[in-house]
């Protein structure tokens, strides 16, 4: 099953993402989904349901409890551009180092320096699919 934004008359196989609830899809531990972000750069993320825990009173759901690495900076050029960016960050003598540092300034949460190894599950946001649909097509 593919979930996404179907194009009228073209994507009969794609279930509209605003009609599929997270708890209806992730119904058992081990279930995986591949999330593609930015179709131009084609970032693919594998999301795996590790466990289903009892609901905690006062906790907002869904929530992310773990992950790996920082979100890449916007418009860094896909996997290849990001690889080049990381190589430049690891070499302060690189001629493009100062320019990259200036470009990254302010892109990381709380204006902290960009750290590709940093991940904070509290920074993961879940969109309301109805609001997302209205924003995209309203």
pLDDT by 10s per residue, the chain, length 138: 677 777 776 656 777 777 877 778 888 999 998 877 776 777 888 888 888 889 899 988 878 888 888 888 888 888 888 999 999 989 999 999 988 888 887 665 555 678 888 898 988 888 777 787 787 777
d(CA 53, CA 125): 20
Q: List Cβ<8 Å contacts ≥24 apart for 40-43.
A: 40/78, 41/76, 41/77, 41/78, 41/79, 41/81, 42/78, 42/79, 43/72, 43/78, 43/79
Complete domains list, the chain, with CATH: 1-52 (no CATH), 54-123 (3.10.290.30)
pTM check: above 0.75: no
Whether the upstream peptide bond of residue 62 has omega within 30° of 0, thus cis, is yes
d(CA 76, CA 74): 6
């Amino acid at each position: 099953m593919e979930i996404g934004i179907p194009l009228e008359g073209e994507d009969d196989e794609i279930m509209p993402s605003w009609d599929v609830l997270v708890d209806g899809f992730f119904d058992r531990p081990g279930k995986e989904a591949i999330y593609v972000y930015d179709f131009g750069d084609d970032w693919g993320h594998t999301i795996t349901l590790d466990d289903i825990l009892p609901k905690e009173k006062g906790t907002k759901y869904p929530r992310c409890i773990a992950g790996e690495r920082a979100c890449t900076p916007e418009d860094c050029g896909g996997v290849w551009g990001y690889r080049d960016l990381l190589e430049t960050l690891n070499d302060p003598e690189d001629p493009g180092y100062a320019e990259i540092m200036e470009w990254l300034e302010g892109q990381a949460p709380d204006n902290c320096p960009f750290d590709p190894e940093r991940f904070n599950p509290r920074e993961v946001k879940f969109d309301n699919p109805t609001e997302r649909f209205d924003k995209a097509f309203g």
